[in-house]
Every structure is written in C-alpha cells, then in structure tokens.
C-alpha cells in the first residue's frame, strides 16, 4: 500500500515516540505506586531517612512523567506532520499528472475533502490509535508486574480485568464505528458547499439561495446525527472503563486484604496494590474515543491509497525532443477523440515565422485539437514535432517544449505579479513590464496604486474581461518554449486592439512555432 510506503521513512521516529510515551505512562504508574507506599509508610512514623528515597522517587517520577511525555509528543507530532506533508505533496504530484479526462470523473467536493480532511485524519492512525493503544498496554503490563511482585494472585485477577477491558472497549468502539458510514454524507456536504459558492451570484439573482442553504443544513443535520452516534459509542466505552477500573480497585483491595491477613503482604503495600489499578486503567481512557473513529480513519487510508495507486496510463518515452532543432508542428488528418462527438479531420503545418491559424465555428473541434496536442485528449491521425510523433512523447516532456493559452485559463486570487510569474518563476519586474507592453497593459498597471502588487480576484481590482484575457496571454508569452498554442487569445478585444496586439505577438514569437485557434477571422 502506498500509504505504508510513505510512513516507512518515519517508522523509527514513531517507534521512539511510542517508547517515550510508554515510559511516561510507566512514570505515572511509578508515581502512584511510590506515593501510596510513602503515605502508608509515613503513617507508621518511621525515621525520616526511611522515607527519603521514596520522597526523591516521587519527585523523579513526577518530573520524569512530564519530560518524557513532552519529548514523545514532539517526536510523534513531528513524524505525523512530516508524513502529512509528504502525503499532500504526493497527492498534488499525482493530480498534476492527471489529464482532464481523469478530473471529469472526480467531484471537487470529494477531492477537497480528501486533500484537506482525510490527510489530517491519517494522523489519527498513530496519534490516537496505534501509539496510545500500544503505550497504554506496555505501561499497564509494567504496572501489573509491580502488583505481581507484591501479590501474584491480585495481579492475576487485575490482569484478566485489564485484558477484558482492552478487548471489550476496543471491540465495541470499533464495531459501532463500522456501523457508521461517514463518507457519503461528508462528500455530499462538501460538494453542496462548493456548488453553492460557485452559484452564489446566480442564486441571489434567481432567488434559489434558500434552497441551497436548506440542502447544506439537511446534510449537516445528517452529519450531526453521525457525530452523536460516535459520541454514544465513546460514552459506552468510557462507562465500561469506569466499571472495569472500579472492579480492579475492589479486586485489588480484597486480594491485598486477604494476603495481609494471611501474612503474605506487608500492611504498607495494601494501598499500593489497591491504588495502582487506578493509573493502570486510566491509561486506557483514549481507546474508546479513538476506536470510535476507526472506520473514518480506515476509509481515509483506503481512499488516499486508492488515489495514490491509480495509474495515469502507459509511461511514454522522455527526452525524444532534446536533440532536435526543427520544431515544425505538423497535423495530418487529425481528429480528436471524444465520446459521442465527431470532428472533421484537420491537416496543416506550423513553422517558425509561419503560424498556423485554425478557424471555424463553435464546436468544430478547434480547442480539442490543441488539447490533443498537449496530451489532454487522444486523437486519430498524426501530430508530429520535427518528425517525431507526439503520442510517443511523455506529457512531462511536452510541458517543457509547448506553451498553451487555454480558452478558460485561470487567474488566481493573488497579485498581478504572482499570476504572471507562473509563466516564469524567476522573472524580474522589468521582464513583466516588457511582456505587459506587448498586450498593452503597461499604462493601466502603472496607473494603479499598487502596480504589479494589485490583487486579482473577487475582492481585488475589478478588471474587465478583456484586461484579464490580456493578462493570461502575457503569462503565456513570458514562457520561453519552441512551440506556442493560443486558444482564442483575442477574445473580448475590440478590432483595433486585436490588430495591434496580434502584430506584436507575431513579432515576439517570430522564431517560434505558433498555432492560433479562433472562431473569428484573423
């Protein structure tokens, strides 16, 4: 499983964290045991030197418990956050290699929940399940061993109760968790929230915003009902733990009293045998709450493992374009392959200083042709670069040699500078202003109070559709690749502006291979 492979580099940290946590819990056992002995012995009024070691031991166990717990927390959270970071990076790297066809099968709300919530739930696998469970067992066995040294018969009964408590609480919590199907409801509410955000303006205009809120509220009520079930499970587990703890204390007292009456146990140790079960069983208090979340956690593991294990298809060759100097882009009877849609074949060649203009009415397959070129869609026919068939070239290599302006390209909710630097991360402000001059945005940007730091987005400067289109175009022009594919680059522009900018683009890309798609005459 991919999840376990990600955990593997951090196993040592998790093991050390578990050991330190166990030592911390054993310190708590030692603290209560020594305290009980100290109180009992002090009641006999012995010389102070008799109590000195116990007094120091109480200090040692009291301070040591916090110190070991502190370092165990550091180690386990450090490992958990490192795993979470690696997991999220792996997910984004996986999604980055997905084609649009892959995303068509995914719901955004579900994907958001996986990337945000489920990667956090994975932490609970060791922070709330494995490490506390293992540590409490180790510390419990250590405490029972002390009782066994004092009163073997009492230790036997307490050990039986300890095992029963672990098995029953774990089983009941896990079984109740298995009956709760959390994921469909969580997916529904995430999807509804995403849809409501997308349709917020339309909902207010057409008056159906109350319907959207009602759907979200209904889903939230279902989620609340599931949380209540989990709370009941945790409550049952806590009640069982309370019962077992009480039974262990009573059993310890009765066995200790019997042993004392038979002369097999010193009177000062009766309190030790009686009180130690309190801390031994107290260490189990996390089990009921943790295992009530078992199903969501295991679902998160399965979902993320399934996502990371998905194949993106056959691995293509790389570095095929590294040795060529001819970047002519040739289309021969090319037909993008889309379900239930048929396109007329397209033939043409784009060369440096000889751009290929693809024109046609909406829905004729112009954009699909470019999608096929960058590997988003399969195609029939032949598309070659310098005589090399594109279908044999990996998508990662195409990214190095092909720049594309999508028809629905996206501007992020950030500054103009950061949006442009997606095209070239190390671009200077001078380079940014140069490329903005190509699309005639220099005057506008310099007139703004914040210049390149002006925010784009819902709460930023209200740029027009044409201005946003030119920013997207500038971002693509900032890249330095042999091939450029521009899908409707002059949309929203008036005739004069379109004419001036198109001439500047031809001049800037005169030594590049250029394909321009448009439904208007160019």
Domains with residue ranges and CATH for the chain: 2-309 (1.20.1560.10), 329-518 (3.40.50.300)
Q: Is 447 helix (H, G, I), strand (E, B) or coil?
A: helix
| pLDDT value for 60 | 92
Mean pLDDT on 231-252: 85
pLDDT digits (tens, 9 = 90+) for 303-314: 777 777 766 554
Q: Can you tell me the distance from the alpha carbon of 199 to that of 187, in angstroms, rounded to the nearest whole number?
A: 18
pLDDT digits (tens, 9 = 90+) for 353-366: 899 998 877 777 78
Strands 356-359 and 513-518, sheet pairing: parallel
| pLDDT value for 431 | 93
> Which has the closest alpha carbon to 498: 463, 462, 464, 473?
473
Structure-token match 């502006």, residue found: 497
334: how many CB neighbours lie within 10 A of its CB?
22
How confident is the prediction for the chain on average, in pLDDT?
A: 83
| pLDDT value for 33 | 87
Question: Percentage helix, strand, coil, to 5, in the chain?
Answer: 65, 10, 25
In the chain, % of residues over pLDDT 70:
89
CA distances from 9 to 86, 300, 305 (A): 11, 20, 17
| pLDDT value for 292 | 67
Residue 394 burial (C-beta neighbours within 10 Å; 0-12, 13-18, 19+) = middle
- CA atoms within a 13 Å half-sphere pointing along the CA-CB vector of 14: 23
> Higher pLDDT residue, 228 or 320?
228
Give the number of residues written for the chain. Answer: 522
Consecutive H or E run containing 467:
helix 465-477
Mean pLDDT on 321-346: 80
CA distances from 498 to 15, 408, 443, 469 (A): 65, 18, 17, 12
Consecutive H or E run containing 209:
helix 209-261
Model confidence band, residue 460 (pLDDT cutoffs 50, 70, 90) = confident
Burial annotation 127-151 (CB, 10 A radius, 16+ → b, else e) = bbbebbbbbbbbbbebbbebbbebb
The radius of gyration of the chain's CA atoms, rounded to the nearest angstrom, is 34
Q: Longest C-alpha distance within the chain, in Å?
A: 109
pLDDT digits (tens, 9 = 90+) for 246-264: 999 999 999 889 888 888 8
> Which has the closest alpha carbon to 478: 441, 513, 433, 448?
433
CA distances from 372 to 69, 234, 240, 346 (A): 57, 54, 62, 12
Q: Is 418 helix (H, G, I), strand (E, B) or coil?
A: helix
Model confidence band, residue 182 (pLDDT cutoffs 50, 70, 90) = low
Model confidence band, residue 179 (pLDDT cutoffs 50, 70, 90) = low
Mean pLDDT on 90-109: 70
């Amino acid at each position: 499983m991919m999840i376990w492979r990600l955990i593997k580099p951090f196993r040592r940290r998790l093991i050390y964290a578990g050991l330190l946590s166990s030592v911390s819990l054993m310190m708590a056992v030692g603290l209560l045991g020594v305290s009980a002995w100290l109180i009992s012995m002090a009641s006999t009024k012995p010389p102070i030197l008799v109590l000195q070691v116990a007094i120091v031991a109480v200090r040692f166990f009291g301070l040591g418990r916090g110190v070991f717990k502190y370092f165990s927390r550091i180690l386990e959270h450090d490992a958990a956050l490192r795993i979470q970071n690696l997991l999220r990076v792996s997910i984004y790297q996986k999604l980055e290699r997905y084609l649009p066809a892959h995303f068509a099968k995914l719901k955004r709300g579900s994907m958001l929940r996986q990337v945000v919530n489920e990667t956090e739930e994975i932490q609970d696998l060791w922070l709330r399940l494995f490490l506390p469970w293992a540590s409490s067992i180790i510390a419990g066995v250590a405490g029972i061993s002390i009782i066994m040294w004092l009163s073997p018969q009492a230790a036997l009964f307490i050990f039986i109760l300890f095992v029963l408590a672990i098995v029953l609480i774990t089983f009941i919590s896990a079984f109740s968790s298995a009956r709760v199907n959390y994921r469909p409801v969580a997916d529904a509410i995430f999807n509804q929230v995403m849809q409501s955000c997308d349709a917020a303006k339309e909902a207010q205009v057409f008056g159906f915003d109350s319907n959207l809120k009602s759907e979200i509220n209904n889903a939230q009520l279902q989620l609340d009902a599931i949380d209540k079930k989990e709370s009941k499970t945790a409550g049952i587990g806590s009640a069982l733990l309370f019962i077992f703890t009480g039974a262990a204390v009573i059993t310890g007292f009765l066995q200790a009293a019997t042993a004392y009456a038979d002369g097999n146990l010193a009177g000062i140790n009766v309190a030790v045998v009686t009180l130690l079960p309190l801390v031994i069983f107290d260490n189990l208090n996390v089990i009921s709450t943790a295992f009530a979340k078992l199903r969501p956690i295991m679902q998160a593991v399965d979902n993320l493992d399934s996502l990371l294990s998905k194949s993106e298809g056959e691995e293509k060759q790389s570095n095929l374009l590294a040795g060529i100097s001819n970047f002519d882009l040739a289309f021969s009877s090319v037909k993008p392959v889309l379900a239930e849609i048929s396109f007329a074949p397209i033939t043409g060649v784009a060369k440096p200083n000889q751009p290929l203009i693809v024109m046609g009415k909406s829905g004729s397959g112009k954009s699909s042709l470019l999608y096929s070129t960058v590997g988003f869609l399969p195609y029939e026919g032949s598309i070659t670069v310098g005589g090399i068939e594109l279908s044999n070239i990996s998508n990662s290599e195409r990214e190095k040699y092909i720049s594309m302006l999508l028809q629905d390209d996206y501007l992020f909710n950030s500054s103009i500078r950061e949006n442009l630097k997606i095209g070239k991360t190390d671009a200077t402000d001078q380079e940014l202003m140069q490329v903005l001059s190509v699309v005639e945005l220099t005057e506008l940007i310099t007139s703004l109070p914040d210049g390149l730091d002006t925010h784009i987005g819902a709460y930023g400067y209200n740029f027009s559709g044409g201005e946003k289109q030119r920013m997207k175009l500038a971002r693509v022009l900032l890249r330095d690749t042999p091939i450029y594919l521009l899908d409707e680059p002059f949309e929203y522009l008036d005739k004069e502006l379109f004419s001036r900018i198109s001439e500047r683009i031809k001049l800037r890309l005169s030594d590049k291979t250029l394909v321009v798609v448009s439904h208007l005459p160019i």
